[in-house]
Amino acid sequence: MTMQDPKETEAELVAAVTGAETLEALEQVRVAAIGRKGRVTDLMKSLGAMTPDERRTAGPLLNGLKDRISTAIDTRRAELEEAALEARLQEEHIDLTLPTRPEMVGSVHPVSQVTEEIIAIFADMGFTLAEGPDIEDDFHNFTALNMPPEHPARQMHDTFYLSGEQDGTRKLLRTHTSTVQIRAMMSQPPPHRIIVPGRTYRSDSDITHTPMFHQVEGLVIDRTTHMGHLKGCLIEFVRAFFDVDDLPYRFRPSYFPFTEPSAEMDIGCARSDGELRIGAGDEWLEILGCGMVNPRVLENCGIDPNEYQGFAFGMGIDRIAMLKYGIPDLRAFFDSDLRWLRHYGFSALDVPTLAGGLAR
Ligand code: DAH
């Protein structure tokens, strides 16, 4: 039997291997070379018909051939797999920095913008941000805030209750952010200086009320803080927030179970031709509730009222957003109407800072 020179066979097969451009083509080359009926396999089979002498020289030659072809195939396969992965990575690559729909630019909701403005002002006065859960218990929402069961002030809150637990207690949706005063005072020793924006809930709906709304709470507790600090802090806040340096204000005596004494703060405004202007004028707008933290609240949180005192305040974020940016109907805040959002929304790049300015 005449046999093709193994060297020639090897050169042909190696050329076929390196010439294979795809994994499928390479597989065909492999089958044709070292598969069950491949050329190298046939050559190996021919060893059986040889004389022992012939076999002694041809055997190592053919085995070497088979090894080199196998290695060449493995190397080429690795190259092709690498190239395939590279191609796939290129193809599936997405540029996350590109806008998905350049014609659709999103905007920041006025509530988010105003929350950031409030945080910026109070952070500058040394307050830190605190948060608490929307689902609360009776203790944090009422009892610890000096509203024990049957307290008449509870009725004013139109509370949403969740269905009862096994032990008869019912969770509720917090009716104010004052709950976080309690959480802060019970989880850390004084002093405290926190600002707490968040969602609040009451079963109420009309042009100035929605069942979900936003409040921001403030709390300062240390050994020496007094009513003068409360007034100074809030006057500074309203003037910075509304960007009116001589904004008129007044504090009216009021009642909250968790503060003693309690007050409400009004700011000056003028109304003409159905337009509201914040600043000097002959009318007043109520914007927040405040007071010196009631000693009983301190006691409820394990703080000695003979050593510590301080003030608290709470205001509606939606309401002051409406006042600042002249937005007439509160309910539209939560309608998700794109035309409204485009009109009243803010650019994502309009980050409020005291240095850069808060107003648009
Ligand atoms: N929690 C009160 C409300 O929801 C607002 C409030 C008033 C908070 C006086 C206070 C405060 O911290 O001192 O109507």
**Domain boundary assignment for the chain:** 4-90, 110-344
Tell me: pLDDT of 333 over 60.
yes
Percent of the chain with pLDDT over 70: 97
Question: Are 130 and 184 in contact, with CB atoms under 8 Å apart?
Answer: yes
| Ligand 1 mean position, distance from CA 257 (Å) | 9
In Å, how far from its chain's centre is CA 359? 24
Most ligand 1 atoms within 8 A of CB, residue of 142, 145, 217 to mutate: 217
Q: How does pLDDT run across 229-260, given as a tens digit for each residue?
A: 999 999 999 999 999 999 999 999 999 999 99
Angstrom distance (rounded) from CA 319 to CA 75 = 71
Angstrom distance (rounded) from CA 38 to CA 32 = 4
Amino acid at site 150:
E
| Ligand 1 mean position, distance from CA 199 (Å) | 14
Evaluated on CA atoms 229, 286, 120, 303, the torsion sign reads: positive
Q: How does pLDDT run across 176-221, given as a tens digit for each residue?
A: 999 999 999 999 999 999 999 999 999 998 888 899 999 999 999 9
289 lines ligand 1 (CB under 6 A): yes
Least confident window among 15-19, 96-100, 245-249, 302-306:
96-100
| Ligand 1 mean position, distance from CA 214 (Å) | 12
Mean pLDDT of 15-33: 94
Angstrom distance (rounded) from CA 118 to CA 116 = 5
Least confident window among 2-6, 86-90, 294-298, 313-317:
2-6
Question: At 1, is the pLDDT very low, low, confident or very high (cuts 50, 70, 90)?
Answer: very low
Q: What is the pLDDT of residue 101?
A: 74
Domain 110-344 has CATH 3.30.70.60: no
Q: What is the pLDDT of residue 234?
A: 98
316 lines ligand 1 (CB under 6 A): no
∠ Cα 89 91 97 (to 5°): 85
| Ligand 1 mean position, distance from CA 281 (Å) | 27
| Ligand 1 mean position, distance from CA 307 (Å) | 23
Angstrom distance (rounded) from CA 325 to CA 266 = 18
217 lines ligand 1 (CB under 6 A): yes
Q: What is the pLDDT of residue 3?
A: 59
Question: Are 243 and 359 in contact, with CB atoms under 8 Å apart?
Answer: yes
Tell me: pLDDT of 2 over 60.
no
Q: What is the dihedral of CA 227, 233, 235, 237, to 10 degrees?
A: -150
The most distant pair of C-alpha atoms in the chain lies apart, rounded to whole Å, by: 122
Tell me: pLDDT of 128 over 70.
yes
Percent of the chain with pLDDT over 90: 73
| Cβ neighbours of residue 193 closer than 8 Å, sequence gap 6 or more | 126, 127, 128, 219, 220, 221, 222
Q: What is the pLDDT of residue 207?
A: 80
290 lines ligand 1 (CB under 6 A): yes
Higher pLDDT, 326 or 358: 326
| Ligand 1 mean position, distance from CA 306 (Å) | 23
Q: What is the pLDDT of residue 359?
A: 58
Atom of ligand 1 nearest to the CA of 217: 12
